[in-house]
């Protein structure tokens, strides 16, 4: 086992995971969140702005970890790792793409869980039930986490 690569992977994944959460929830603007799934130019630009700010956030956090821990990474590994993450993040955040993937994977019911509409869960009062999120959000984050893992592997091994 290559212990150095394993340590770089662990540090890179941790940095990417934390930066993903910060970038997706704190750095992303409300406008980007609302518009990134819209059709056409407006949606593509909003999604692009979101992914650029998210990738910058990940790059800054990752750079701090690499420098402070003196991790042996290559420029190519960093470009490939951050690049695959950015590309897949943009793809999923256009929303229709991830919804189609969920449908193809027989996850439509889970994807729609917690969403507003005629089948949304309601409390005994008849008002919308409180929930911690939606199936769409859970699938979105799981998709992103998978690609964070692939990005960290590229950073650690290339």
Rounded distance between C-alpha atoms, residue 144 and residue 116, angstroms: 23
Domain coverage including residue 17: 3-157
Within 8 A by CB and 6+ apart from 133, the residues are 114
pLDDT at residue 134, as a whole number: 85
CA angle 115, 124, 127 (to 5 degrees): 45
pLDDT at residue 131, as a whole number: 57
**pTM, two decimal places:** 0.87
pLDDT at residue 128, as a whole number: 63
What tens-digit pLDDT sequence spans the chain (158 residues)?
Answer: 688 999 999 999 999 999 999 999 999 999 998 899 999 999 999 999 999 999 999 999 999 999 999 999 999 999 999 999 999 999 999 999 999 999 999 999 888 887 766 555 555 566 665 555 788 899 999 999 999 999 999 999 99
What ranges make up the beta strands (E) of the chain?
A: none
The total of structural domains in the chain comes to 1
| Alpha-carbon dihedral angle through residues 139, 26, 35, 146, given to the nearest 10 degrees | -30
pLDDT at residue 64, as a whole number: 98
């Amino acid at each position: 086992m290559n212990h150095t690569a394993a340590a770089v992977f662990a540090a890179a994944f941790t940095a990417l995971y934390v930066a993903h959460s910060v970038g997706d929830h704190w750095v992303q603007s409300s406008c980007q969140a609302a518009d990134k799934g819209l059709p056409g130019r407006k949606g593509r630009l909003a999604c692009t702005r979101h992914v650029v700010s998210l990738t910058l956030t990940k790059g800054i956090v990752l750079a701090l970890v690499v420098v402070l821990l003196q991790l042996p990474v290559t420029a190519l590994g960093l470009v490939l790792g951050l690049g695959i993450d950015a590309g897949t993040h943009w793809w999923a955040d256009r929303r229709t793409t991830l919804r189609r993937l969920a449908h193809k994977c027989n996850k439509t019911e889970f994807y729609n869980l917690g969403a507003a509409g005629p089948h949304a869960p309601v409390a005994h009062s008849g008002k919308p039930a409180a929930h911690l999120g939606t199936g769409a959000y859970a699938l979105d984050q799981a998709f992103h986490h998978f690609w964070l893992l692939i990005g960290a592997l590229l950073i650690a091994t290339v």
